[in-house]
Structure 1
Amino acid sequence: MLPPGFASAPARSSYDVVIIGGAIMGSAAAWFLTRDPDFDGSVLVVERDPAYERCSTAHTNSCMRQQFSTELNVRISQFGAEFVKTLHERMGGDPDVPRLSIRNFGYLYLAADQAFAETLRANWRVQRAAGAGTELLSPDEIAARYPFYALDDVVLGSINTRDEGWFDGAALFDQLRRGARAAGAEFVADEAAALELAPSGARVEAVRLASGARVACGCVVNAAGPRAARVAAMTGIDLPVEPRKRFTWIFKAERPLERDLPLTIDPSGVHVRENGGGTYMCGAAPEPDEAVDPDDFEMDLAMWEERVWPALARRIPRFEAIRQTHCWAGHYAMNLLDRNAVIGPHPRVGNFHFINGFSGHGLQQAPAMGRGLAEMIVHGAYRSLDLSPFGYERIEAGRPIRERAVI
């Protein structure tokens, strides 16, 4: 039985826009397309996992931050924060649409050496120039605000508590998906099996689905998350995006902290934040951090005892007495070139559009990226925020726009 809102087969044989992948990026693109007054076309969203049990969106930690190393990423998340806070109004004031907010406990980056301290200072200058509220803190200033940290190895911290912290990402995703459907986008439970190119190779003419259906298209959007490279390869395009596993644990503290815990990025590579009710969420990448199969969700059960818990107790001594309650694995769609998004049309297969490679930033960036891609498809240009630096051309040229603030 299919989840509500999904069809088992496309209702038509041709669509103006076919979006491959219906998680947060595909749904955001569909929502903004169907809201553009200059767009009166048809939209088909093809989703292989209609229950959304194994997509990256379902395993996200639902955080928002402004602390990036590039101005464009700061502005992308600024729009994301604005969109979240005004979601109710943007959905027409529907009483069934929740009023969302951001729980602004902030992110706290901790530098244990002067090299990373200089990176934090450089990032701070970029962030402040873009209007973010980032502050640099000495160890004494950190201790005055957050006396529970052990800071003997810390030389500098960076924090922002304005539009930075946790938000209800599941609610945002749900409303984008519902809104797109209500405005006419069709969601089908199926999988793209092949893309048919025109004889010139300059455009995609049709999408063949795993069910056997053939759907002609005006343009195709690759919103396939960790499977993005597989979809791109159907057109002969090389996209350096691969699944990288990320682990998350929830734990309960015997003695909870008296105040909210910022999302703390420890020099060990472990990060931890407030979760509410005396519980906390922490995460880390495996070592080595290698590509995995997009269906691989196996946990490294030894990692908690051997690496994560010791790092937590070292940084916050009260966390020596904690109890893990549950855990899960998810995936980053990692852009190997520069850890930044790839968005917009391919320079030669002109109706094949990317919205890929978010490297762990996807949920918070979805509103700006969905809006931008819709503008490109409908108007042939970005109108609100120029996302052209993240175009595919830099991939071919090997010209990275390096994002240093990747967790």
Structure 2
Amino acid sequence: DVVVVGGGVVGWSVAYWLKVLEGSRHGMKVLVVERDPTYSRASTVLSVGGIRQQFSLPENIRMSRFSASFLRNINEHLGVPNEPPIDIQFQPSGYLFLASPQAAARLEATVQLQREEGAQVALLTPTQLKAKFPWIATEDVAVASYGLEDEGWFDPWTLLTAFRRKAISLGVHSCSGEVRGLILSDEHRVPLRGPASATARIKHVHVHMPDSLEYQPVTCAIVINAAGAWAGQLLEAAGLPGGLCQPPLPIQPRKRYVYSWHCPDGPGFSCPFLIDTTGAYFRRDGIAGNYLGGMSPPEEEEPDPGDLSVDDNFFQEQVWPRLARRVPAFESLRPRGAWAGYYDYNTFDRNGVLGPHPKVENLFLAAGFSGHGLQHAPAAGRALAELVVKGRYESLDLQRLGCRRLVEGEPLEEEGVV
């Protein structure tokens, strides 16, 4: 009935919620197709595992609040009888956003929106900031926002495997393979002509299996594109007529580095997830003086996403100096290692694209979260499953995250992308 393309945390969340919402009444058959069963290149498990309420778009704040509640009660949702309880190793610690004088008014307005949405966020003056975190240099900070609840970090792999294990226990099927073709019904094999409202329909998908020269056709009623960083390329490479790919899905793989270092005199157990005025970030990693951090490069300096090699010079030349200016103790840090992962980056407005495709009537999209897909997966999966099963949003109204904004050229900018 439903083929979910992509077995990351978003794809498995969709599959789980599909089975929960349809119950045992209809026996919906759901297949999750994942091309990398080792997850060695998966965005989910290569992330730093954060969750926060501090976003600038109401929909993102609401998804964060939903997901925080879901994670707090995760064993009620994803627990499997006769299996050990789930421990996602959640570390409660607020995100701390620092703002320069030029960005202070915008941060204050964003915090007001967050509070209106029910998030508990404090505004700190430089004096208050220094009193709470004496290790921070505050000379160029005008104001800071600090999350008071439902923020922190957790183990991404545990959440992914919990969704997968529960979904399979509910009857979801999975296979290792790559979807390389979306085959339309016979009457839609030619490029679209006529009114822009004309639509096509997928009849089956072509799954390329490992160690095989042949495709496995899978007939289905609905396809969900949860291919993450490769969601845009999937549609381009799947053999759809050109008219069905306009406008293109603006989702690209963007490589991001995560660096690890040790500093015995660094911030202690109360260390927040700090986002500097420069865009550099870090958080505590355990309690033994270890830290994780990084920074998104300028648009004109985006690294080649062709592989997951790490540029150590980027840390030495760009990240470390910014961190050391903010936390003087980091001047003597010792690098420990690094890895690279992918953002499914929405170049249009850095927000997820969620909902039906504008021209393929049985194709749904759940991708482009630009770095916050892990934390929003429980909410986004639920929302998309509601559209499929019930034809409407019920728990969260996420209509504005649909494709209409792409077609009409009206971006919903998210300022809080780290």
CA distance in 2 between partners of 1:61 and 1:370 (Å): 20
CA deviation map 1:113-152 (0-9, x unaligned): 23x1111111111100011011111000000100000111
Contact 1:25 1:369 in 2 (8 A): yes
Match of 1:311 in 2: 322
- CA shift, 1:315, in A, is 0.5
Match of 2:138 in 1: 151
CA deviation map 1:244-263 (0-9, x unaligned): 11111111103233332111
Contact 1:339 1:403 in 2 (8 A): yes
1:27-66 correspondence to structure 2 within 5 Å: 27-36=12-21, 37=23, 39-66=26-53
Question: What SS class does the counterpart of residue 412 from structure 2 fall into?
Answer: coil
Note if 1:360 corresponds to 2:375: no
Match of 1:386 in 2: 397
Match of 1:85 among 63, 72, 81: 72
Q: Which moved more, 1:254-263 or 1:373-382?
A: 254-263
Contact 1:243 1:293 in 2 (8 A): no
CA distance in 2 between partners of 1:33 and 1:290 (Å): 40
- CA shift, 1:102, in A, is 3.7
Question: What SS class does the counterpart of residue 319 from structure 2 fall into?
Answer: helix
- TM-score, L = length of structure 1: 0.92
CA distance in 2 between partners of 1:39 and 1:345 (Å): 22
1:5-20 correspondence to structure 2 within 5 Å: 16-20=1-5
Match of 1:221 among 221, 224, 242: 224
Question: What SS class does the counterpart of residue 311 from structure 1 fall into?
Answer: helix
Match of 1:263 in 2: 273
Contact 1:86 1:99 in 2 (8 A): no
CA distance in 1 between partners of 2:300 and 2:145 (Å): 25
1:145-294 correspondence to structure 2 within 5 Å: 145-198=132-185, 199-200=187-188, 202-211=200-209, 212-233=215-236, 234=238, 235=240, 236-237=244-245, 238-276=248-286, 277-288=288-299
Match of 1:108 in 2: 96
Q: Which moved more, 1:134-143 or 1:308-317?
A: 308-317
- CA shift, 1:177, in A, is 0.6
CA distance in 1 between partners of 2:31 and 2:305 (Å): 23
Amino acid at match of 1:171: T
CA deviation map 1:292-336 (0-9, x unaligned): 665421211211211211111111111111111110111111111
Note if 1:345 corresponds to 2:343: no
CA distance in 1 between partners of 2:395 and 2:333 (Å): 46
Amino acid at match of 1:110: L
Runs (4+) of structure 1 moved beyond 3 Å?
Answer: 92-95, 99-102, 287-295
CA distance in 2 between partners of 1:92 and 1:165 (Å): 22
CA deviation map 1:17-51 (0-9, x unaligned): 00111111111111111122255210111111011
Amino acid at match of 1:242: Q
Match of 1:74 among 61, 72, 81: 61
CA distance in 1 between partners of 2:26 and 2:417 (Å): 35
CA distance in 2 between partners of 1:208 and 1:258 (Å): 52
CA distance in 1 between partners of 2:298 and 2:55 (Å): 24
Contact 2:79 2:166 in 1 (8 A): no
CA distance in 1 between partners of 2:294 and 2:302 (Å): 18
Amino acid at match of 1:376: L
Amino acid at match of 1:23: G
Distance change in 2, residues 1:296/1:127 (3 Å): same
Contact 1:244 1:290 in 2 (8 A): no
Contact 1:102 1:163 in 2 (8 A): no
CA distance in 1 between partners of 2:26 and 2:413 (Å): 34
- CA shift, 1:286, in A, is 2.7
Amino acid at match of 2:254: R
Question: What SS class does the counterpart of residue 59 from structure 1 fall into?
Answer: coil
Of all paired residues, the percent bearing the same amino acid is 40
CA deviation map 1:58-112 (0-9, x unaligned): 2111000000011111110011111111011113574513244642221111112
